[in-house]
Amino acid sequence: MKIILLQDVKALGKKGEIVEVSDGYARNMILPKKLGVEATGKNMNDLKLQNQHAEKVALENLEAARKLAEEIAKVQVQVSIKTGEGGRTFGSVSTKEIAQAAKEQLNLELDKKKMQLPEALKSLGVHEVPLKLHPKVTATLKVKVVEE
C-alpha cells in the first residue's frame, strides 16, 4: 500500500514522502496513529499543492532576506564600552548589546542568535559582524565600538 507520510517516521521516511508499506503495517500502525494517509488521487493532489505553496513561501523568505541584507550593508551601529587608561577596555560587546543597539538606532529587529561572532568584541573601532539571515543569505553589519 502506498502511503503519504504526515510526520517523520523512523526507518521509513520523512514528512511528505510517498512510501510503500505492507497493508497490515499501514492499517494497524500508520493510519490509526495519523502518521500518514493513503496515497489516493485527492491526497496526492493535496500534497502537490502543499509543496508548491511551501516553495512559494521559501522564495518569498529568500527575497525578504536579500532585501534586509542590502539594508544592513548600508548602515552602521554604534556601541559604547567603558575604557581605562591607555585605551584598555573593561568587558566586551556581546551579540545581545549589538541587537539592542540596532533596535534603538536603526529600528531593526535582529536576532542575536543569528549573529556569528567568533568571540565578543573587546577592542575599539569598526568591526564587521556576519548575520545569517537565511541559509543562503549572510549579511555583514558594521559595528562601531566607541569609548563611553
CB 144 within 8 A of CB 81: no
Length of the chain: 148
Which of 54-58, 62-66, 87-91 bottoms out in mean pLDDT, i.e. has the lowest? Answer: 87-91
What stretches of 1-148 show up as alpha helix (H) in DSSP?
A: 23-25, 41-74, 95-106
pLDDT in tens, 1-50: 999 999 999 989 999 999 999 999 999 999 999 999 999 999 999 999 99
Average pLDDT over residues 53-62: 94
Give the full edge-to-edge strand order of the sheet including 76-81.
76-81, 137-147, 125-134
* Number of C-beta neighbours around residue 93 at 10 A: 21
Q: How many CA atoms lie within 13 A of 93 on its CB side?
A: 30
Q: What percent of the chain has pLDDT over 90?
A: 68
pLDDT in tens, 15-29: 999 999 999 999 999
Question: What is the predicted pLDDT for the residue at 148?
Answer: 80
